[in-house]
Chains A and B, each alone.
Chain A
Amino acid sequence: EAQVTQNPRYLITVTGKKLTVTCSQNMNHEYMSWYRQDPGLGLRQIYYSMNVEVTDKGDVPEGYKVSRKEKRNFPLILESPSPNQTSLYFCASSFTRNTEAFFGQGTRLTVV
Chain B
Amino acid sequence: GENVEQHPSTLSVQEGDSAVIKCTYSDSASNYFPWYKQELGKGPQLIIDIRSNVGEKKDQRIAVTLNKTAKHFSLHITETQPEDSAVYFCAALEPFGNEKLTFGTGTRLTIIP
Contact = CB atoms under 8 A, between A and B. Distances in A.
Centre residue among B9, B93, B106 by max chain A CB count within 10 A: B106
B99 interface: yes
A28 B47 CA distance: 21
Given A40-B105, A42-B89, A100-B34, A48 B100 contact: yes
Interface residues of B, number: 26
Interface stretch (A14-22, A67-75, A77-85, A103-111): A103-111
B99 A90 contact: no
B100 A90 contact: no
B93 A98 contact: yes
A33 B103 CA distance: 13
A44 B103 contact: yes
Given A97-B93, A98-B93, A43 B44 contact: yes
A105 B42 contact: yes
B105 A41 contact: yes
B103 A42 contact: yes
Contact of B44 (A41, A50, A103): A103
A56 B98 CA distance: 9
Interface of A: 4, 31, 33, 35, 40-45, 48, 50, 56, 58-59, 90, 92, 97-98, 100-101, 103-106
